[in-house]
Every structure is written in structure tokens, then in C-alpha cells.
Structure 1
Amino acid sequence: MEVSGKSKPKKTFSLSRGSAEDFILFCIPCDRDGARVPAKGYCSTCKEHLCDTCYKHHKKQTPSCHHILLDRDSMPTTPSVPVVQDEFDSCDDHGDEKLKFYCKDHDIVACSVCVTQNHRLCNVVYIPKLSKHILDSEELNEIMAEMKALEDNFKSQIKRVKDEMKAISQNHDGIIKAIHQFRKEINTRLDEMEKHVVKEADNILIKQQANLNDLSTGVKEITSKLTEKRKRIDNLIQRKCLDKLFVEMKKKQQRNDDNKNVKFYDTVQKKVVSEIKLTESPFDVSALTDDRFVVTVPDGTSIHFMLLRNQHIVSERKVNINEDCYGIAYSQDKLVVSCVNPGKVLILDLQGKILQRLNADKSLFSFPEYVTVNTAGTSIYVSDYGYSLENGVKQLDWQGNLLDTYQQAEVGKYLRGICELNDGTFLVCLAQDSDDNLRRVSDSCKPCKITMNKKLGKWYPEAVAYCQKSRKLYVSYSEKGFYKPKHRIKIFKVDWC
């Protein structure tokens, strides 16, 4: 029954239904009649699995007596289907052209016009030559795993938000019940106090529910988009649209790479004049000299040293810290770095060697995101994101002793970026959508007044920087929520009083 020297069926792929039927092959002719009969052989000519009865009849019938048959030991172990012909996407710049080519040098997909105009000297490959092995590629597996992990993470965040909202509601009900019980035990002179406390409790509830509802809406929106995108890729995989799948993967990678760039923005020309892509998303930056600076990469547990050469960013070296580095400041030939897991502050030399670990007993910080050092170099100021009443600005000496604290006593308002002004005071961002979302504190962590040339508006600030020469303030922010990406920068002319 086995015939050697014959070519294998062309353009077939093994499929998996993801169920208990993964390892059971059925007779195709019987399956068409609605019966599920285990396969005992295979016809290479018809490209179909056959049960024992169909296998025997196949050899006897005149039309199929010369077909090439394989017995149970030689037959394919997976069902086979023909390849579905792909349709190429149209080019955004040249609508009549299809995205059939991939430039390895620039890591982008392109049409024939794009290749002719912009990639004549590049290493360009026809996409079908690359995509035929994409289903077994590690890159596809990593993307699918990453999207699934993100989807699961956001679903867990939605559950956490619901649980917190329920706990807040229960806590609110308990406060009101306790207030009513207390009122019964005292005389009517406490009525005004009761009304005030109830009002404050309601305000706290409203603010917290508004923040959590905002967060929940954002998480649901992101989760919905991820689910839709994952279903689209799943559909392309099932239909074997390999070219579309390849293009979709590269588009997603190009969008993700936007969040991994360090950009040099010229405030005079008002445009980005240079940028450099990292393997992970950067978080904070600090200048060492006029043309050298350092960048923290939390997910990469590393610090990157960079320099500006003719207005172009050049990577100098990378130092692995093995800590989730967030905020960074430079003073006295030392780097001060904040870490959040657990909360601590590291003192390093310029070679990346850890000289000190502040908060060794893990009791001083909750979530220290940003850090700065005063101009005199005598104190370290840490903006502790924290939760509830734990957040605040912590003033430390270089041995890690707590000197003073600016306590952020308003529930639901979280401290973010911090910077020093030319008069020795500090500005701190609050993640909230109100006009009071920048706070000014003295070098001893006492509240100060702040006057600006225009109202801030309802926005969510993240990081803040101050230029002493131009007396301008630069604040990164989002208009939709403190969890949204901070893609914009507000610029203010400021005066202090």
C-alpha cells in the first residue's frame, strides 16, 4: 500500500482544535454523512483519512483503485486543510498598492512604491517568503502570551476595583450608622457636628468612587480593545491568513515601540529633533552635565547613560542594577535612585555600584516614585505616592534619617513628580483633575503659596521640571485620568509669593 518516491500533498497544515479531540483522527467520508468513525488509514491522492471499511472499499473501486494508500502506521497524525489565500492590506501612503514587502533594516512593512522610493538600498524581503513559518515562530507566541497576560491583568484589575468600591461603600454605610448611633447618645447640641461629619464622609465617598469609576472605565476600555485585537489575531491564525498576521504583528510592535523611546525636544524649534529606542519603557531622567544624562528603566532594572552629540542622542552605556529603578537624581558625583518593590532609596556611584540602601527596615516608604536632591546637596526629597494618608514628601539626610515630612492628608490624592525651584522651595504634582493639582512646599516640607500666570485646568500631572533661566515650568500630563499615558506637556511662566 505504501508507494515510495511520491511527493507529499502540497500546502497543507496541521490543525489543533484545542480540545480532547486533538489526538483523534476521524474518517472524512463518514464524517460528511454525520458519523464520527476513527481513521485507520489515509489516501495520499484524495488527502483524506479513512476508516477501516472505507479503506478497504477504496482499493476495490475502479476510480480509486490506483490511489496511493497509507496504513495506520504510515498515515499523517494530524488532519490537513488547504492554505487559505491571503489578501494584502493597502498601503496608507499609496492606496492602490499592497503591503507585500518587509524591510529588515527599518523593521517595517511596505508596498512596492515605498520600497522603490525609500528602501532601494535596504534588505527587503517578499512577505510570503517570511510568513510561511510564522505559526511556529517564537515572536508570535510571545505576542499572544503578552496580550493574554495583559488581558488577564486588566480583568483582575477590574475585579480589584469592584472589590474596593464595595468595601468603600460598606465603610461609608458603617460611618453613617456609627454617626446616627452616636447622635442618640448625646444631646441635640451635636447636630451641627453630625451634619458636618456626614458631609465630609459623603465627599470622601464621592471622590473615591469617582476616581475608581474613572480607573474602572479606563481599564474596561483597554481590556475591550485587547480582547478585540486578540480575537482578530486568533481569527487570522484559524484562517491561515499568514500575510495579514505578519503585518498585524509588525503594526503592533511599531505602536509598542513608541512607549520605549527617549526623545530630545528642542523648546526653541518646538519639535523632537532626536530620539533613541530602548528595549523597555523609560521612566525618569536626570542631567549629569550639559550634554550627558541618565535614564531609569524600571522593567529592565537598569540605568542608561546617554549623551548629546550634535543634537543627537547617543547611548553611552547601560548599568544593570537588578532593582526596579524609578526616580533618579544626581548630586556630588552620586546617583540617588528610588525603587518601589519594596520601597527604598539607593545611593550609587557613577559606575552603578550601590553604596547605600536607605529604608533597610522597609518602614519609611510606601511607593517612592520620584526623588530629587536640593541644590546645596544636603537633603534628599522623596515623593512617596503611597495610599490614603501614607503619601507625602519625605526629607532625608544621606544616611537615610527622616528629617521632616510634608503630609498629603487628603484621601484620594496621590503625589507624583517633584522638582526644586530657584528659591529653594519644591513643586509636587498631585494626580487629580482640579486646579489645585500642583503643590509648593518649603525646604523644611511646609506648605507655601503658589501663583501662576494662568489657571491650570482639570488635568492629571505626572512629572514636573523647572528652567531657572527662562523661569518656565514644564509639566507632563493627561486630560482623561491619572492612569492614562502622559503624552502632553504644559508650559507655564511662574511667579512665587
Structure 2
Amino acid sequence: MAEGGQIDTDILSDEAFDVLCSMCKNQGKNTEGEQYCVDCKDYFCVSCVKVHSKVPLCAGHKVLDKSQIKSRTSKGLPRAPTERCDRHSHKHIDMYCQKHDTVGCSTCMAVDHRLCKDTFYIPEFIQNNTYQVVATREIQTKLKALDTILAEKADRFKQDKQRLLKRKAEILADIRKFRQEINDHLDKLEKSSINEIEDKVKSLEDKIKDSLKQLQANKSRITSINDKLTSTNTNQSEVFVYVKMAEDAATVAYKYIDDSELQCTTEDIEYQPDITIPTQLEEKKTLGTLAKKHTKTSVSLFQI
């Protein structure tokens, strides 16, 4: 067990092993590997690990001492995850808090889970706990279902936008037709009425765009983590991280779906011409009045 993002050395062995330094091996030398780089997944002797640490791209790599590496059996310690932490980009997501059932880097654990006793180094947790592939299948099934739901909602938003623009065109045509039935004095009124409709439609269209943007963000996250789960099948630690990330993504997506269902009422606009205009042109500012109309059905968004 580890607390505050630290590796629990109580369950690691100091036994010697005969793994060779990868850099020396490439040069035809047989030098025992004294340290292990989690990121490179290679062993290094005392001299070569110094060279490794000086390479800029390897500056943030996690290197384990010989005392932190279990004896090299056929199974060994599972490979560490390579997914980078969103909050601490120089760190890898290689820690797991069992109390909160969440993963993070060592810095996350030190900051957010310092009081949690059940925090583990993921490769050790995987090795000492039976992790079922069923959880991976379940979250993949959940992600696939969510992807379908979000895709359907995206189509509905697009259809709403098309209906909105279609009704906008119809209203503008009706306004111009109505304007032709009266005298030239309607030029100014026509412009005011069109501007009012344009502003209202723009407001509704912006709302749809905002909703679609939120939906696409959830859908992209669902698709991305599902792709990672699909392409990762050998690194159990990596799968563990992606499953936990997928569960978080699924929770956010479900909340978005629930919230959007509560606000699924479509805001509508209704236009009513003013039949008194022919006799009262001088007193009017627009060709009619706009009113909102709410509906849950796929009927026309505007009526004139």
C-alpha cells in the first residue's frame, strides 16, 4: 500500500535479478541492469542511467531503483501506464485511490488524496488484485450506447436548426407579401420587422449551437476513450486507467443527457400580422409582433 502517491516498498523485493542493461547490451556488453525506466520499459546500469537522465525527452521519466523492482519472474510487475495527467502533464497516471475509485498521478494523490490510506501504485495493484476484463467490456458497451444516444441527439439538434431556418425563410416571405399589399410607407416597417426576426432567430440558433457544442464535446470524449480502450489490449495498467477515465466520461455524459432531457422543450416563435396596419401605418413600428412558442413535438417552429 502507498499513501500520498508514494510507492509501498513493503511489498517489493530486493532480490537480485539477471536482467541486462539495454544500452550496454546494444554495444555487445553484458552489464547487469540496476534501474528500470517505467516509460522506456528498459533496464539500465549505473552509468547508462545517468546518460538516460540527461536526454531532454527522458527528463520526466519515472526510474525505479533495484530495491523497488520485484524479482524478475516470468510474470514480473505489469507495465506502468503511459497516459499523461491532464493537471500535471509531466507526470503519468500511475496511481489509484481505492477509497474514491479514481486514478491520477503521484502529485494528484499527494494533493487530493493525502488523507486516503488506500492509494496504490497501479502496476502493484494490478499484480496483487484480480482485475476482471468484464469491467472493460461493460464500460465499452456503455460507451457504445452513449455514443449512439449522443449521435441521435446531434441529429435532432441539426433537424431543429433546419426547421428553424426553414420557418425563418417562410416568415420572411410572408412579411414581404404582406408588405406588398400596402403602400410604399411600409419600407421602414419591413426593415424593422425583419431585423426583429433576425435577432430572435439568431438568439435561438445560438442556443442550439451551444447545446450542439456541449454534445460534441461529450461525444468526442466518449469516442476518444473508447478508441483507446479498443486499441489497448496488452497493457493491463493502461486498460485500467482507460476504464476509470471512461467511467468518468460516462458519468459526465449521463449527466449531460439527463440535464438536456429536463430542458428538451423547444423554444418556438410565432408571428402574427397586424391587420390594422393599412389604416394605422403612421403609428406602427413593425409589421407584426413576435411571440415565443414552446413545443416538444416536431411541428413547425413558426406560424404566421
- TM-score tier (shorter): 0.3 to 0.5
Normalising to structure 1: TM-score of the pair?
0.31
Q: Whose helix proportion is higher, 1 or 2? A: 2
Q: Whose strand proportion is higher, 1 or 2? A: 1
